[in-house]
Amino acid sequence: MRIVFMGTPDFAVPCLERLIEAGHEIAAVFTQPDKPVGRKQALTPPDVKVCALKQGLTVYQPSNLRDDSPLNLIRELAPDVIVVAAYGKILPKSILDLPHYGCINVHGSLLPKYRGAAPIQWSVINGDAETGVSIMQMGEGLDTGDILYEKAIPIGIDDTAESMFEKLSALGAEMIVKALELLKNGELTAIPQDESRATYAPMLSKELSQIDWTQPAMTVHNLVRGLYSWPIAHTFLNDKKLRILRTSPCNASGEPGTVIDLSPLTVACANGSVIIHELQLEGKKRMDSKAFLLGHPFTIGQHLG
């Protein structure tokens, strides 16, 4: 097929790579504009742009899809289908209706659950046992289009948002290639989403990241792994932000927010406790809890929060 690919972050890169490997013709790649990153605000290209340029593909970075220029450009490119993976922009109806096979989206959840910007993170934060990838025919609503193809995978108790990103990104890449083959052969049936089961996964913010130790241990553990590797869950130690990077739940009990053991470093929650395996004090490097305790002695009963 002749494809216009639209995507921005690293999640979308395997999809683009597998489409190329499968022999599809990539007419062009659309991605978000370069953005300033880091303390020095260096202008940085999206991961999809980096991949596309390495493959010798033509890249477009329009700031707006709702004027005539992108529409006319895509019309000239004459794709059979537009494949979208974490592009980050809403496609207007004029573009959705343009290709013969429409616009096909690779979404990191089992729709209609977790429509929106952060489906993978919220599936971990909420302690779901499984998630998956949905290949959907895009419509005008936010992730509301008909489902063409879905696959589920388990979420392990130690999986993080980052590890699930990697798994779902690889799964989505395999699925989009298979879906396009089935679509071309007329072997896919579009299934409307059940609106009564729809939930939303809003964009993450730093305001979500402070740990509430009065929550159950599993809730705290899920928050830590769901916010890894951004914005990262945190608490406070002597008025300094303490990032909590890796934990595991346990049954030990105590007053929520207090240190109840040092070997291993354990903090009580409302129902059970969490063992802290890796952490990072504001302005310092990340380290495992044993190394951290050598330079930052805790005492039993010390309070975090």
Q: What global pTM score does this model have? A: 0.95
Secondary-structure breakdown of the chain: helix, strand, coil percentages, each rounded to the nearest 5 = 30, 30, 45
CATH of domain 206-295: 3.10.25.10
- The residues near 227 (Cβ < 8 Å, ≥ 6 apart) are 121, 125, 161, 204, 208, 209, 233
Q: pLDDT class for 3, splitting at 50, 70, 90?
A: very high
Q: What is the pLDDT of residue 35?
A: 93
Residue 127 vs residues 11, 21, 123, 160, 172: alpha-carbon distances, Å: 21, 35, 6, 11, 22
Encode pLDDT of 252-282 as tens digits.
999 999 999 999 999 999 999 999 999 999 9
| CA pair distance 118, 86, nearest whole angstrom | 10
* Percent of the chain whose pLDDT exceeds 90: 93
3-class secondary-structure state, position 303 = strand
Residue 32: what pLDDT? 97
- CA Rg value for the chain: 22
pLDDT digits (tens, 9 = 90+) for 36-66: 888 788 899 999 999 999 999 999 999 999 8
* Mean pLDDT on 153-173: 98
- 123 or 66, which is more confident: 123
Cβ neighbors of 181 (< 8 A, separation 6 or more) are none
Q: Please confirm whether the linkage preceding 112 is cis (ω < 30° from 0).
A: yes
Q: Residue 97 above 90 pLDDT?
A: yes
Does residue 246 have a pLDDT over 90? yes
The string of pLDDT tens digits covering residues 101-112 is 999 999 999 999
CA of residue 195 relative to chain centroid, distance = 23
- Say yes or no: do domains 2-197 and 206-295 share a fold: no
The full set of domain ranges for the chain reads 2-197, 206-295
Strand partners, 83: 5, 104
Please give the structure tokens belonging to residue 104: 């096909």
Cα of 81 vs its chain's centroid, Å: 24
59 SS3 class: strand
Sorting pLDDT into bands at 50, 70 and 90, what band is 204?
very high
Question: What average pLDDT is seen over the chain?
Answer: 96
- What pLDDT score does 42 carry? 86
Cα–Cα distance between 273 and 156 in angstroms, integer? Answer: 19
String of DSSP letters for 19-66 = HHHTT-EEEEEE-PPPEEETTTTEEE--HHHHHHHHTT--EE--S-SS
User: In this structure, which CATH number among 3.30.70.100, 3.30.1380.20, 3.40.50.170, 3.40.640.10 belongs to the domain 2-197?
Assistant: 3.40.50.170
pLDDT at 144: 94
Q: Cis check for the bond before 229: say yes or no (omega within 30 of 0).
A: yes
